[in-house]
Amino acid sequence: MKIGIDVLDDDIRVEAVLSLCEILESMGHEPRRAVDIAEWNPDMVFSIAGKLSYPMLISRQIETNLPFVLPPYHTLALLDHPLYWRRMLEQESVPVIGWVTIGPDRDPGRDTRVSVLGFPLSIRPISPGVSTVMKKAHNREELVAHVKSSWGEASTALISREPEEGLLRVYHGFVSGEYIFRSQIDLSPDMDRLSRSLVAHIAEVLELRGPVEIVLVWEQNRLFLKSIEPVLDIFENSDAHRALGTEYSEFLNGIIEAYMALK
């Protein structure tokens, strides 16, 4: 299989691209990263997006007419609006991790809504095209700095809790609709059943199509949705890559097979 590697962000480390190429070669594929991949006529193209926004990826796909491995436009556009999908899911009784929005008319360091959330927190601007830029705050000073930085990109910032324990990462990108579950904790049969039921409900409400990563968190025997992201930067040395471990090659192969089946 001829697989092009399209690196869209200059900040992406070269070793991450080389590692991906080595893995694809070990799987029997022919990867190539070059400016002439369009002339090379690849069967598909993996995009390493880095900090670029989802609409920019769609524009890139349209401009080059290359067969990018991306979720459908509907999924990308929906996930580019973190406030929108959170509200959609909460209306359908999905327990979303605590979050608030804040504009320049409020002091993030003194806002009681924020202090109730506790640290660490994630901060991102609410605006299509820049909502993928997320920063983490571990104290009030970092919080104020990151919120003010977000106001430079959009008029409102989204602040949400960023738990670091009890995480359950779910990867979806297969034709069969199956998921790969990777949990930091041992799940009882009931916890596993509830997790799978919630993931299926989320996918149905948002009409999600893979490849996507859904992150859940178990806190005090309660299950919450933490985040949903397209699986784009999995091709770097990301948390998703590490969580999959030895199944990384299997996951990549699943994405490749899914894409070819849909062509």
- The CATH number given to whatever domain includes residue 150 is 3.30.1490.20
Residue 114 lies in a domain: yes
Same domain, 214 and 87: yes
Residue 243 lies in a domain: no
Helix and strand tally (H, E) in the chain?
10, 11
CB neighbourhood size of 121 (10 A)? 25
Asked whether residue 133 carries a pLDDT value surpassing 70, the answer given is no
Residue showing tokens 């960023």 = 162
Three-state DSSP state, 235: helix
Same domain, 155 and 173: no
Same domain, 21 and 64: yes
Asked whether residue 9 carries a pLDDT value surpassing 60, the answer given is no
**For residue 8, what pLDDT is reported?**
60
Asked whether residue 76 carries a pLDDT value surpassing 80, the answer given is no
Three-state DSSP state, 232: coil
- For the record, the structure tokens of 105 come out as 């008319």
Same domain, 176 and 50: no
Among 258, 257, 242, smallest CA distance to 19 is for 242
* Segment (H or E) for 242: helix 239-244
Asked whether residue 197 carries a pLDDT value surpassing 70, the answer given is yes
Asked whether residue 141 carries a pLDDT value surpassing 90, the answer given is yes
Task: Render 42-77 in DSSP notation, one character per residue.
Answer: -SEEEEE-TT--HHHHHHHHHHHT--B----HHHHH
**Residue 49, domain CATH:** 3.40.50
Query: How many domains does the structure of the chain reveal?
Result: 3
**For residue 126, what pLDDT is reported?**
83
Residue 247 lies in a domain: no
Which residues are CB-contacts of 202 (< 8 A; sequence separation ≥ 6)?
89, 94, 208, 214, 225, 228
Residue 57 lies in a domain: yes
In the chain, what percentage of residues exceed pLDDT 70?
75
Asked whether residue 165 carries a pLDDT value surpassing 80, the answer given is yes
Over residues 221-230, mean pLDDT: 89
- Distance (Å, rounded) from C-alpha 192 to C-alpha 181? 9
Among 193, 201, 117, 104, smallest CA distance to 159 is for 117
**For residue 31, what pLDDT is reported?**
87
Same domain, 88 and 51: no
Three-state DSSP state, 38: helix
Asked whether residue 244 carries a pLDDT value surpassing 70, the answer given is no
Residue 238 lies in a domain: no
* Structural domain span for residue 207: 77-94+164-231
- For the record, the structure tokens of 205 come out as 């409400």
Same domain, 81 and 64: no
Same domain, 90 and 173: yes
Over residues 170-197, mean pLDDT: 79
**Residue 89, domain CATH:** 3.30.470.20
- Distance (Å, rounded) from C-alpha 82 to C-alpha 127? 9
Over residues 182-196, mean pLDDT: 89
Same domain, 180 and 81: yes
Same domain, 62 and 174: no
Same domain, 219 and 130: no
Q: Dihedral sign, CA of 212, 20, 7, 58?
A: negative
Residue 239 lies in a domain: no
- For the record, the structure tokens of 182 come out as 């990777």
Amino acid (one-letter) located at 244: L
Asked whether residue 237 carries a pLDDT value surpassing 50, the answer given is no
- pLDDT tens digits, 36-56: 666 788 888 887 655 556 667
Among 138, 151, 170, 144, smallest CA distance to 239 is for 170
- pLDDT tens digits, 21-39: 888 888 899 988 765 666 7
Same domain, 35 and 12: yes
- On average, the pLDDT of the chain sits at 79
Same domain, 60 and 172: no
Asked whether residue 90 carries a pLDDT value surpassing 80, the answer given is yes
CB 241 within 8 A of CB 48: no
Residue 252 lies in a domain: no
**For residue 175, what pLDDT is reported?**
47
Residue 151, φ and ψ in degrees, nearest 5: -65, -20
- Distance (Å, rounded) from C-alpha 197 to C-alpha 153? 36
